[in-house]
Chains A and B, each alone.
Chain A
């Protein structure tokens, strides 16, 4: 990792010196990581691809402000998280035809249509992943991102807070709320399995 950091810094210096192609090595090196987190946050391949491109574009334009002591991977990762969060928020504003649970006290959040299938069908058709995606979509963008970063990306609450630009305690609460909602939402899977 230290070697990679050194390579990243050397590439950044080269880019700032006018070697645009050096940025290509950074893109190649970090694209997969960015795609993974972008997909987990957006839940959509095309959106994740857009997020990766946008993150690297933003990163290039802000590269002069990048502190040499920082880790480029962490820095571009945060940019990608911001881009993905923006994407989810914009998409959420455009989405319609959402069905909410009648007893869900947080009706203001986005909820996808619940194609309530029976446990047998779920097992047989392998729709568990789809239901999990639906459950993740039911979270607010901040909750969803915080949960993805905590549960899937193994980021600490401090890192999540820094990535989302919120207090670590707020990040911790966002993760907590997300877990509670997901468990309620996916209770049917517990019965099925």
Chain B
């Protein structure tokens, strides 16, 4: 026989048993449960002695007297200057809405200004890697070296008997000289001694070609050819072009997310 649990007995005493008839039937048949039930009932009955102190008939009046001063009557709160007639006067109501809208727009505008001026968080300030700017410089330098190489090749193989060379070569030499000085300045700023030295050699050769007194006649061209061969300017330009081509390749990789 299954005995009653304490929970079932407590439920029975408080009249909240889920099956009162079955519990009563069990208590009638099971002496152990009947004894436990009687003890539980007696224990709980003993707790009924815990009565609170009495309060006299005027207790309620004293409570009311103590709280009444702190209560404001409903609907009779003292009207405030800014709220008087607020809900009843349509003009005031409209004015209120207009003011609220104006305030909202002003706040939004001001917030927008602040937002624009707000410095970007450090997390978003990614310093531009040098390779981002590098391709532009590289392309300009490469173009200059390409033109210079063609000029030097043309100068090397120039027909000393042809007078047709003079004007176009001098023009090209002058053009290259201006570009070479820009490139040389950039190379000096970039602290690239190899490039700076090569461009220095090229500069002196181009300066002579551009400013040779008497133009690029056969004698002057022969002299420039000798200087070019002696300094190895053409070789230097070709080496530089090769180096630039390599750097262009790595810069392209970097732009695609590769590493240098």
Contact = CB atoms under 8 A, between A and B. Distances in A.
Interface residue SS majority, chain B: helix
A32 B70 CA distance: 21
Nearest to B73: A20
A64 interface: yes
B164 interface: no
A176 interface: yes
B74 A151 contact: no
Interface residues of B, number: 34
A90 B235 CA distance: 93
Interface residue SS majority, chain A: helix
Interface string B53-86: 1010001110110111011111110000000000
A64 to B, nearest CB: 7
Contacts of A39: 52-53
Interface stretch (B19-27, B38-46, B219-227, B241-249): B38-46
B260 interface: no
Nearest to A193: B46
Given A20-B73, A31-B59, A132 B64 contact: no
Given A19-B73, A60-B71, A52 B63 contact: yes
A28 interface: yes
A175 to B, nearest CB: 7
A189 B50 contact: no
A-B complex: 6 closest residue pairs judged by Cβ atoms: A28-B60, A31-B60, A39-B52, A20-B73, A27-B64, A24-B64
Interface of A: 15-21, 23-24, 27-32, 35-36, 39-40, 45, 48-49, 52-53, 56-57, 60, 63-64, 128-129, 132-133, 136, 150-152, 156-157, 172, 175-176, 179-180, 182-183, 186, 189-190, 193
Given A23-B64, A179-B6, 8 more contacts: A27-B60, A32-B60, A57-B67, A60-B71, A129-B50, A152-B48, A156-B16, A186-B46
